[in-house]
Amino acid sequence: MTTLPAPRKPRRIGDLVRLLLVFLLIGAVFMGGAVLFAPWAFYMGGRFHTIPQWQGWGRLHSNSGGGDYALYVWFRPDSGRLRGLVYVTGNAVLCTPRGEKFVLNLGGTFGKPDGGWRGRDLNGKNANFYMFNRTVSHILNGASPRPELKLHGKWNNPDLVVDDDSSIQRNFDRDARLYPDAKNRPYLGEVSPITLHEGGKSDFEAACKNIYR
């Protein structure tokens, strides 16, 4: 009677090693690009970061928007845009006085007012961000991208000192309810300042709990 050879087991360990090497290669390419084209990304906030990214949080108050809000932001260099201004991409979370949380896509720029800046020190440089609600569920359901927020200001190391460009009052009513659209809202109304301090999600969550009590 002939005995058939046992089937070979899939080389799972080898596949995992190859996958890990691919991720390490992608990470090395990203880090190398940041070192060459975005050295500022390692020094956001005035101190050295091993990973070129920055995260922070802050609180703002809007009488028009129903009270206190907490905002968390995370961003890194946008490697696809090697132009005069410095571009970043990331995400944000907005916590409202009603206890609602909105997860937002984030984009932004740093630089001098006339553009054309490249370097390592961001202190005193302009900072502009835009945020919109484009999560997967919203895209699939065809929902509105609101809230759409803007922040304008500058780096004042170690913080980002900005204001909301009146975007809270364009998106929320006096009960902190989200407007479905902004057609009947004045573009420029109450402007709310906010200082973003470097910190993680736990700091933001604590601020959010204090707001919704």
Domain coordinates of the chain in residue numbers?
Answer: 39-211
pLDDT of residue 4: 56
What is d(CA 72, CA 24) in angstroms, rounded to the nearest whole number?
28
What pLDDT, on the 0 to 100 scale, is given for residue 78? 85
pLDDT in tens, 24-80: 444 444 444 444 457 888 999 999 999 999 999 999 999 999 999 999 999 999 865
Contact between 171 and 146 (Cβ < 8 Å):
yes
Mean pLDDT within 115-124 = 75
pLDDT confidence band for 108 (50 / 70 / 90): very high
Which contiguous run of DSSP H or E holds residue 19? helix 12-37
What are the pLDDT digits (tens) for 121-140?
Answer: 899 999 999 999 876 555 66
Over residues 72-81, the pLDDT tens digits come to 999 999 865 5
What is the model's pLDDT at position 189?
86
User: What six digits make up the tokens of 88?
Assistant: 């970043």
User: What would the pLDDT profile of 171-203 be if each residue is shown by its tens digit?
Assistant: 999 999 998 776 667 777 899 999 999 999 999
C-alpha–C-alpha distance, residues 74 and 89, integer Å:
8
Q: What are phi and psi of 106, to 5 degrees?
A: -130, 140
